[in-house]
């Protein structure tokens, strides 16, 4: 058994420190070397295991109090929406990390390079179209895009895939067709609008993007280790991605639940009846509601007070940028990436949706 004290930097770490202070200290070989070998747990150190136990015991002890606090109708609604967003998204995230793990373990970087056109400008639309093959919602595509980058795919290409996959795959298109039975042109409009968003963002990144915006950890090359089986690489990568991305997904769920309760939806629905205002309102609504891309068509179809164009904007913006996705991206690629990428995507998605809307609707 391996014991590493995480709070090594807090000499004689105190037992009562809150979880926020516990930060992980790198397990570098230097520290590992200093670790006294053959000893049991280091006395007087608090690790995340103890913190977890403490939190669980506290939660159990305070259970009745917690339930009492959450008894207000709004808080009850918010907590239900929070659990719903997490529960709904988890299977898709698991699916995404399994694919990510499989790419890391079984797809050599050279194979990916052979598959994609050499020129990034050409590879971007190809990657966008490849999104058709990932049947999931947006949570699945973030870990996959990151793994593609690590395997040497140019960031612009991986990002194009990231934006296209949740919106152009067959499941989402069928859902859209079912929801908009009365307006079948919404399906090609959505497909083109989303693909356009992905391709334009890919090209913009090729032209203006800087590698240093993406956190170094996301781009770090995957090293082939001698003597480690592919199965181990697969499961360890999937586990690691799941733990990391899962945390941010939950954070996104907290935001989505808060907005769901705090933003007066009824008021926004009335406001949206004007076409220009409608486009803006629906774009923001798409960001803060953070609906799964397989469900958003059903919500959009129910907003009958609005013309089709604002609803198309809602469908194109939602899978490309929303609070849940922003949290996931910030966690995966770093804050300085997400702060630039998300607003740019927001603008490009609105423009693409308007173009697609003018052509198809």
Partner 1 sequence: MRRETQNILLILLGGALLKLSFTDMYLRYVKAGLQPLLIAAGAVMILLAGLAIVRDLRSPKEAEEAHGDHEHRSSRSPWMLLLPVLAVFLIAPPALGADTVNRSDRNAAQESKSLNGFAALPEGAVIPLSLGEFVTRTAWDDSGSLDNRVVKLTGFVVRKNDSTYVARLAISCCAADASPIKVRMTGAGFDSMPTDQWVEVTGKVVPGSATKETAYVPTFTVAEIAPVATPVDTYES
CB of 208 to partner 1, least distance (A): 27
Cβ-based burial of 231 (10 A; exposed 0-12, middle 13-18, buried ≥19): exposed
Nearer to partner 1, 15 or 60 (CB): 60
User: For partner 1, which is the closer residue by CB, 6 or 167?
Assistant: 6
By beta-carbon proximity to partner 1, the closer residue of 14 and 302 is 302
CB of 179 to partner 1, least distance (A): 8
Nearer to partner 1, 123 or 312 (CB): 312
Supply the minimum distance, in Å, between the C-beta of residue 196 and partner 1: 25
Instruction: Rank residues 159 and 215 by Cβ distance to partner 1 and give the closer one.
Output: 215
Write down the least CB distance from residue 307 to partner 1, Å. 14
Nearest to 79 by CA among 323, 260, 232: 260
CB of 302 to partner 1, least distance (A): 5
CB of 249 to partner 1, least distance (A): 8
What burial letters (b/e) apply to 110-144, b meaning 16+ CB within 10 Å?
Answer: eebeeebeeebeebbbbbbebbeebbbbbbbbbbb
Nearest in space to 211 (alpha carbons), one of 104, 100, 336, 342: 336
Contacts 24+ apart (CB under 8 A), 42-46: 42/3, 42/5, 44/12, 44/13, 45/5, 45/6, 45/7, 45/8, 45/13, 46/7, 46/13, 46/14, 46/15, 46/17, 46/22
With respect to partner 1, which residue has the nearer C-beta, 85 or 162?
85
Q: Distance between CA atoms of 142 and 173, rounded to whole angstroms?
A: 20
Q: Which residue has the tokens 């919500």?
A: 299
């Amino acid at each position: 058994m391996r014991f590493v004290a995480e709070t090594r930097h807090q000499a004689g770490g105190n037992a009562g420190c809150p979880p926020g202070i516990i930060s992980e200290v790198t397990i570098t070989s230097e520290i590992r070397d200093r670790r006294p070998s053959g000893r049991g747990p280091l006395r007087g150190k608090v690790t995340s295991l103890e913190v977890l136990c403490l939190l669980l015991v506290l939660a159990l002890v305070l259970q009745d109090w917690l339930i009492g606090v959450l008894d207000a109708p709004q808080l009850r609604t918010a907590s239900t929406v929070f659990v719903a967003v997490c529960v709904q998204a988890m299977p898709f995230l698991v699916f995404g990390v399994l694919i990510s793990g499989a790419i890391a373990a079984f797809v050599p970087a050279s194979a990916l390079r052979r598959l994609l056109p050499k020129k990034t400008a050409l590879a971007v639309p190809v990657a966008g179209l490849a999104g058709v093959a990932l049947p999931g919602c947006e949570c699945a595509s973030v870990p996959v895009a990151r793994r593609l980058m690590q395997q040497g795919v140019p960031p612009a290409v991986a990002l194009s895939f990231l934006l296209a996959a949740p919106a152009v795959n067959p499941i989402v298109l069928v859902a859209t067709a079912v929801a908009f039975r009365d307006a079948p042109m919404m399906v090609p409009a959505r497909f083109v609008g989303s693909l356009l968003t992905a391709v334009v963002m890919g090209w913009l990144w090729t032209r203006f993007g800087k590698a240093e915006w993406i956190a170094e950890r996301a781009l770090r090359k995957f090293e082939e280790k001698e003597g480690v089986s592919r199965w181990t690489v697969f499961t360890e990568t999937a586990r690691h991605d799941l733990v990391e991305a899962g945390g941010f997904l939950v954070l996104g769920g907290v935001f989505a639940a808060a907005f769901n309760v705090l933003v007066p939806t009824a008021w926004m629905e009335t406001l949206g009846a004007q076409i220009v205002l409608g486009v803006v309102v629906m774009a923001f609504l798409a960001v803060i509601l953070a609906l799964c891309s397989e469900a958003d068509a059903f919500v959009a179809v129910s907003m009958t007070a609005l013309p089709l164009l604002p609803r198309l904007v809602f469908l194109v913006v939602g899978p490309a940028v929303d609070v849940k996705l922003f949290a996931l991206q910030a966690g995966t690629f770093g804050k300085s990436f997400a702060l630039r990428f998300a607003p740019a995507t927001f603008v490009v998605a609105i423009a693409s949706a308007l173009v697609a809307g003018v052509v198809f609707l």
